[in-house]
Chain A
């Protein structure tokens, strides 16, 4: 059973004199004070601070039985800050009561002061135990109005809701203090008050987690008053925090992010998936490119998955947002290396984005509008068990860019990205917790058009490219027995890659289908077995109308060996075009198995293997990739854990490299051996350190060759051979302050070196994006009144560069060639940049509105991203990175 628990702690301070503390309770005290006007006003001059927090453990027995709910407790904090007696106010089950009290007994507070002196006080806590996806059958909120709860004799009826979210507040107190009347709101926040005399009456709604609100109404004989309270959440409550359920760590290098808390990292345009770029192991990409450069590997060696299904791109073109609306995001698992056996057909990093269940009790929505694009999200409950959510986003740079250039008085050659993405998900509950199914349809389309409309230009350029993908996924989760659970995901999809010019057009279409089935078997308390099937079949067609390459050779040509057909240019093609259509199967069938063995309470070992076939073109290659992970908890108190992993990874060469027409069909699989060791340590529950050392050896990599073989007397260039090898090694450091009420942030540092041979027989040189030092510091503060400020600072070594010593005039072509120094022997200057983000949120009764300003490169650092040369390679100058760029946007949600 997939089980997580969410724990929320909310505290309403109840400031009491010592002699009164025995019968204190927040709500009642609030009422009593209003009614009786106490003789001596006690004032809390210094609130206690929670300095040690211990997370409550969701009892297995409760989870299995589906027991969930809120445990309300009254905690006595002694004058020295220690936890005293705990009184249970309300609890759905004694099992949960024990779990909550066991945790609270370990809390430590700083002493509180009343009227300037240390005092014993009481606070009320509410632990909310909730099994993930547990869904209490209820009538959807928007259908409520059809059913009148209140009786005809109720003088005042109404509802108590939370401001902005409009969520009902069950259990809220609604009181007419003057008449000593108090009622509780029901599960849907509804209430009714009888027996009020005619005249003006003050009605007050109070909730432990919200600010109280009072309205004055006039009661008339024979009339019924309707009141709806919208209570703002207690933002100023020093103890308010959200601790989300955590999956137990079973890997060495995985970093898990949860989306909603990470939409305010500067430089990410509010996109939680872009936050990955700020984690250890990922090299910085020039400008705002979205390539994944994980542990010194080429972008194509890493993979992105959505719900475990591979997708071709994760970001839109030219630094656009990710292809998934953040509202659909449940979590992101980022493995810079040593991914577990569920992931294969990759030799570098893995990113898996999981979408969330759309179950909701009320209509929800969000709109995000910024300079580049706009998006809309809607989440609708259909019945008690069925919910549907959809989102769509469209860029509009193509619409506004002409206006921009016109305003600037420029006609220029421009690159215009046009993109959209969509998601639709329907969730259906199937009885018991852990049994459900969903249908997910999602896709994305990116088009890039380069156009030149310069009236006076002699040259007209027209280039276009397109990447789009579409997926249809059906998912089914089923709890087969108490010990065995299953997730099944068949899918179909279609990918299109197109690029074209005036003279050529290429379409690569891929139809794909497959199934992913995951099983988890809890054999015992100390043994959990994961096994499954991962089948993916792709049929890719390469259709093109391309210029015919020359079928002769001109040795006088100035150019490269395979382009020796003419002079004066690097590409030599005839005037003719020819249709080309090539089809090939790709993909593979894999099974996997691993066992999570808790040898002792402290020592965990996870042996596993992934095996099956990988196919490409006419090749079907068998492969077995064994993997092993070990974790040993040295100091349980601080969760100090030593960890180590080693694993073998395999993948097919890129389709173009193994293609018969354009590559070498005899290529074999590429491989990598990942190994890493590290340590985790929690200084506090929210302050965590993770240090890893890694070494990755990749071999049998497909790299270019100039070799030509002769087949039937005709030259047949090999183009690619499995002669590449690469080593990456380094250290990754992450010091993280988890998301708390007012702050989150981290320091990520990567020390790395990656080398590989670029051509057959060549020496190893630094990887093109190799960066020795990469430091990223991220911090975000939340202030009162909805203000939030975030900062990101990045410092990274410059990429390697091959020095150009001068130029040599090629008299046959009429141009200059570079005279190079040692390959990639120098580094570009250090990169550094500070980004800031300021966000202000306004809370209205029915919705909330946020406006943000995201400023990249605040101090306008002139970072060189490339070196440009004059025509004869004597003069050089840097191509600067992006200047200071402010961006604004608004987000509304309800």
Chain B
């Protein structure tokens, strides 16, 4: 009788947690094929003095972290770039988009380009922006990379063009990653681990990466804010405890990994080499990254 009761309790439990059953998908931190892991603009925010728009927008350099563990380091891919105004849904609309980099083939690690946004594109973005440029005008760039072994890979990056308002406002800068520690020790050239070992990675950005910045409020006032940095971890083998740490505290969820920004890596059982990437993002479009090679021995 007790057994029967227990069975029914389990049935009830199955009913209540049934919604939690999900298909088994790949983990986002495991890089197995062609991936865009980061795109950084330099500068991430372009500011010009209040007044008439300049004849030509300042140049922005865009660099990327594109990887494909299936291929050799010097493998090449075909890619091209499109710029579009304000709304990401406009990138497929010729009226709001223009190709700014024609298709070309380069090495994976050499995908970078310059953006000199046309006045026409910025004007369209301004017209299309529901805030009419308040706080800055976003111009979107879409990076398209052909993958012969899979679907096209697309990455989106917002370039922000604004004016210096309030007067003390300065443009955002990309964060700088000082060091990555493995088990509290700075990494020299690479990480060496035995199969199944656990290694705790701790990214340490330079102090100036967390900027204070000032913004104009909707009511015409000024507000000084702090940046929050988020850390994203990727590996080519083994397992990570967390794909993302840091970031802004969430009002609704208590997350210990906001303060504890480490991620624990479990080395794979098979010997071999691989790469760990750490990408750091601020919450204003700035980004940087670093790669850590590792060697796993039996």
Residues of A participating in the B interface, judged by any CB pair closer than 8 Å: 287, 371-372, 397, 400-401, 403-405, 407-408, 410, 412-415, 458-461, 463, 501-504, 547, 551-558, 561, 564, 566-569, 573, 575, 706-708, 713-715, 806-814, 817, 819, 868-872, 874-880, 882-883, 885-886, 888
Contacts and interface: CB of A to CB of B under 8 A. Distances in A.
Contacts of A714: 218-219
A458 B247 CA distance: 14
Contacts of A817: 88, 156
Interface string B14-33: 11111111111110100000
B163 interface: no
A764 B2 CA distance: 56
Contacts of A874: 150-151
Contact of A811 (B25, B135, B230, B287): B287
A460 B254 contact: yes
Contacts of A872: 28
B217 A459 contact: no
Contact of A810 (B15, B131, B156): B156
Given A403-B9, A561-B130, A817-B156, A552 B249 contact: no
B215 to A, nearest CB: 4
B44 interface: yes
Contacts of A708: 130-131
B68 to A, nearest CB: 14
B153 A555 contact: no
A231 to B, nearest CB: 35
Contacts, number: 215
12 contacts: A371-B8, A372-B12, A404-B9, A404-B12, A461-B253, A501-B253, A556-B172, A564-B135, A812-B156, A814-B232, A870-B26, A874-B150
B272 to A, nearest CB: 24
Contact of B247 (A405, A558, A568, A810): A568
Nearest to B159: A556
Instruction: Classify chain B: how many residues form its interface, as a range.
Output: 35 or more
Contacts of B228: 566
Given A552-B218, A566-B283, A809 B36 contact: yes
A567 B18 contact: no
Contacts of A414: 16-17
A888 B150 CA distance: 51
B256 A458 contact: yes
Given A553-B135, A814-B232, A706 B130 contact: yes
Among B44, B248, B249, find the residue whose CB has the most chain A CB atoms closer than 10 A. B248
A552 B215 contact: yes
A555 B12 contact: no
Contact of A412 (B17, B44, B135, B279): B17
Contacts of B36: 809, 811
Given A566-B248, A708-B131, A460 B218 contact: no
A812 B160 CA distance: 12
Contact of A877 (B8, B23, B282): B23
A817 B87 CA distance: 13
Contact of B12 (A397, A412, A878): A397
B171 to A, nearest CB: 11
Given A553-B135, A879-B22, A397 B8 contact: no
Given A397-B12, A888-B8, A575 B135 contact: no
B285 interface: yes
A694 B155 CA distance: 48
A503 B252 contact: yes
Contacts of A371: 8, 12
B11 interface: yes
A401 B172 CA distance: 51
Contact of A501 (B22, B134, B152, B251): B251
A811 to B, nearest CB: 4
Interface string B276-296: 000101111101000000000
B99 to A, nearest CB: 17
Interface in B240-278: 242, 244, 247-257, 260
B16 A397 contact: yes
Contact of B13 (A408, A458, A561, A814): A408
Contacts of B16: 397, 401, 404, 414-415
A568 B283 contact: yes
B10 interface: yes
Contacts of A412: 17, 20
Interface in B28-43: 28, 35-36, 38-40
Contacts of A869: 25
Contacts of B225: 552
Interface of B: 6, 8-26, 28, 35-36, 38-40, 44-45, 88, 129-131, 134-138, 142, 150-158, 160, 162, 172, 215-220, 223, 225, 228, 230, 232, 242, 244, 247-257, 260, 279, 281-285, 287
Nearest to A319: B15
A809 B12 contact: no
A875 B155 contact: no
Contacts of B160: 555-556
B191 to A, nearest CB: 23
Contacts of B152: 806
A553 B215 CA distance: 8
A554 B135 contact: yes
A567 B282 contact: yes
Contacts of A551: 217-219, 223
B143 to A, nearest CB: 8
Contacts of B250: 503, 569
B261 to A, nearest CB: 12
Task: Pick the 10 closest A-B CB pairs, nearest first.
Answer: A877-B23, A503-B251, A556-B285, A553-B135, A811-B39, A404-B13, A870-B25, A871-B28, A567-B283, A552-B215
Contacts of A372: 12
Contact of A567 (B131, B155, B284): B284
A287 B20 CA distance: 13
A407 B10 contact: yes
A808 B158 contact: no
A811 B12 contact: no
Contacts of A561: 130-131
A700 B190 CA distance: 65
Contacts of B157: 811-812
A808 B137 contact: no
Contact of A553 (B15, B131, B285): B131
Nearest to A710: B132
Contacts of A556: 44-45, 136, 138, 158, 160, 172, 284-285
A665 B281 CA distance: 40
Contact of B254 (A397, A459, A878): A459
B131 to A, nearest CB: 6
Nearest to B88: A817
Given A808-B154, A812-B157, A812-B287, 15 more contacts: A397-B12, A458-B256, A501-B253, A502-B254, A503-B251, A552-B215, A553-B136, A555-B131, A573-B251, A806-B151, A806-B154, A809-B153, A817-B156, A870-B26, A875-B23
Contacts of B9: 400, 403-404, 407
A371 B15 CA distance: 12
B231 to A, nearest CB: 10
Contact of A812 (B158, B242, B254): B158
A812 B285 contact: yes
Contact of A814 (B158, B249, B279): B279
Nearest to A882: B18
B134 A812 contact: no
Contacts of A502: 251-254
A707 B25 contact: no
Nearest to B241: A458
Contact of B216 (A552, A812, A878): A552
Nearest to B284: A556
A553 B223 CA distance: 11
Contact of B11 (A405, A564, A713, A885): A885
B153 to A, nearest CB: 7
B252 A501 contact: yes
B38 to A, nearest CB: 6
